[in-house]
């Protein structure tokens, strides 16, 4: 049961279940293609969403007025709503929380070039509504006609996870009967890639190797994930198919450094402990962890230390789907929440692509080589972002 941490401790809320999902990733668009992609070797070269055609969701004029990250937001949310079936929600009690780390960087870069080459009078009047980070959530809300809370979270690489958690809070607290939680990113522009390259965050080999001894940075990608969340009562009343349940969530700050994680993973450990307390379960109840696992030397080490602090050695089976997908920044947490839910439904934990040479200082039980069968149980999905933002979701099968 999802709980909200208030000033006086946990406050019981309504149970929140997942009834629809949508995803766009470099390894596949749609649930089946995405799952198949998670169980294939990682691809070579740039990891962009292949064959994405915004005209599938927008008319020609509208597509030119919506940045790629917001197009992804709409596409993922539309897929999730269609997957959920006839929701029948009161529009005033249906909300949207959609995150992004960067927002409309592609549009901003293009229009800066226009400014430099042609002057300010040639800047597009659509620059602001296209680049603003809340454009994703706004377009999803307008598309669905949902008039409840419509908000954007921009906590860097934790934004997707925080958005799913915040959407779940809307339902658990009774403000909404239905909410979409998700995240999207499309920052693979010259400026975006150049910036991450110059700060030495990206892999020089172009290979994502989470927790591997040879890891040398993350591989940037783009994409989006979205989950339709409903109160259990609302879902059962309409006969919805239920994929799983949001059992709890945690959020902390490292308060340490603008890009580097806190030494020893203290902030991440506290976040996971809060999520477990929120869910009302013990560390021993966790059957799987989808790690943040970016493939950077510092992040993977800090996360492994945090997991060891909370769960001991070796702890639950751990996977990082970023071995296949790369790192979608503000969209990563939502994409990975979809992956965790599919792991529960398919009764398989996907392998960590790129993991071949164990790091002797990392003692995790890293799932690798091939998918591992398991008996579905509560699972963690971790996201840790620049700025020291930490987010953890607890997702599990629905228990009667």
Among candidates 249, 263, 280, which has minimal Cα distance to 399?
A: 280
> Alpha-carbon distance 40 to 347, whole Å?
17
In the residue annotation, 292 being an active-site residue is answered as yes
Residue 76 · residue 224 · CB < 8 Å: yes
Peptide bond before residue 281 is cis, with ω within 30 degrees of 0: no
Distances (CA, A) of 392 to 96, 165, 234: 19, 8, 25
Q: What is the bridge-based pairing of β-strands 94-99 and 178-185?
A: parallel
The Cα-based distances of 104 to 44, 136, 199 in angstroms read 26, 9, 21
Mark residue 317 as left, alpha or beta (left: phi above 0; alpha: psi -120 to 50; beta: remaining): beta
Which run of H or of E encompasses 97? strand 94-99
Structure tokens at 44: 């070579």
Asked if 172 and 394 count as a contact pair (C-beta separation under 8 A), the reply is no
Q: Is 257 a catalytic residue?
A: no
Query: Distance from CA of residue 269 to its chain's centroid?
Result: 19
Going by the DSSP 8-state scheme, the letter that residue 195 receives in this structure is H
Rounded to 5 degrees, φ, ψ at 32 are -70, -45
From the list 288, 292, 368, 389, the catalytic residue is 292
Catalytic residue, chosen from 26, 27, 150, 157, is: 157
Sequence-distant (≥ 6) Cβ neighbours of residue 295 within 8 angstroms: 203, 208, 209, 210, 212, 215, 216, 217, 218, 219, 320, 322, 323, 327, 354
> E strand or H helix at 281, and its extent?
none
Helix (H/G/I), strand (E/B), else coil: 217: coil
The yes-or-no answer on residue 162 being catalytic is no
* Residues that are catalytic: 157, 292, 327
């Amino acid at each position: 049961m999802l709980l909200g941490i208030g000033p006086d401790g946990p406050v019981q809320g309504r149970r929140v279940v997942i009834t629809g999902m949508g995803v766009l990733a470099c390894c596949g668009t749609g649930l089946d293609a995405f799952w198949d992609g998670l169980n294939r070797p990682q691809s070579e070269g740039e990891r962009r969403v292949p064959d994405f055609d915004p005209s599938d969701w927008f008319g020609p004029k509208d597509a030119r007025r919506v940045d790629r990250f917001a197009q992804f937001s709409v596409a993922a949310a539309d897929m999730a709503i269609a997957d959920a079936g006839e929701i029948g929600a009161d529009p005033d009690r249906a909300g949207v929380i959609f995150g992004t780390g960067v927002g409309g960087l592609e549009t901003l870069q293009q229009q800066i070039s226009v400014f430099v080459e042609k002057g300010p009078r040639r800047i597009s009047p659509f620059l602001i509504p296209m680049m603003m980070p809340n454009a994703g959530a706004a377009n999803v809300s307008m598309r669905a006609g949902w008039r409840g809370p419509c908000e954007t979270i921009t906590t860097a690489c934790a934004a997707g996870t925080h958005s799913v958690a915040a959407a779940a809070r809307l339902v658990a607290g009774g403000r909404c009967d239905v909410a979409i939680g998700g995240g999207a990113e499309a920052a693979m522009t010259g400026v975006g890639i150049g910036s991450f390259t110059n700060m030495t965050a990206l892999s020089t080999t172009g290979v994502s190797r989470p927790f591997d001894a040879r890891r040398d940075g993350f591989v940037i990608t783009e994409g989006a994930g979205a989950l339709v969340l409903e109160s259990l009562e609302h879902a059962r009343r309409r006969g919805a198919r239920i994929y799983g349940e949001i059992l709890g969530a945690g959020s902390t700050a490292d308060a340490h450094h603008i890009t580097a994680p806190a030494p020893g993973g203290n902030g991440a450990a506290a976040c996971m402990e809060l999520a477990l307390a929120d869910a009302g379960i013990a560390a021993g109840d966790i059957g799987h962890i989808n790690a943040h696992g970016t493939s950077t030397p510092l992040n993977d080490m800090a996360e492994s230390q945090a997991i060891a602090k909370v769960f001991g050695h070796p702890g639950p089976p751990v996977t990082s789907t970023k071995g296949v997908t790369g790192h979608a920044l503000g969209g990563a947490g939502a994409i990975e929440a979809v992956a965790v839910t599919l792991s529960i439904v398919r009764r398989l934990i996907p392998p960590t692509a790129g993991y071949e040479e164990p790091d002797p200082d990392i003692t995790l039980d890293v799932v690798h080589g091939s998918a591992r069968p398991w008996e579905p149980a509560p699972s963690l999905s971790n996201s840790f972002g620049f700025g020291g933002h930490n987010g953890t979701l607890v997702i599990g099968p629905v228990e009667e």
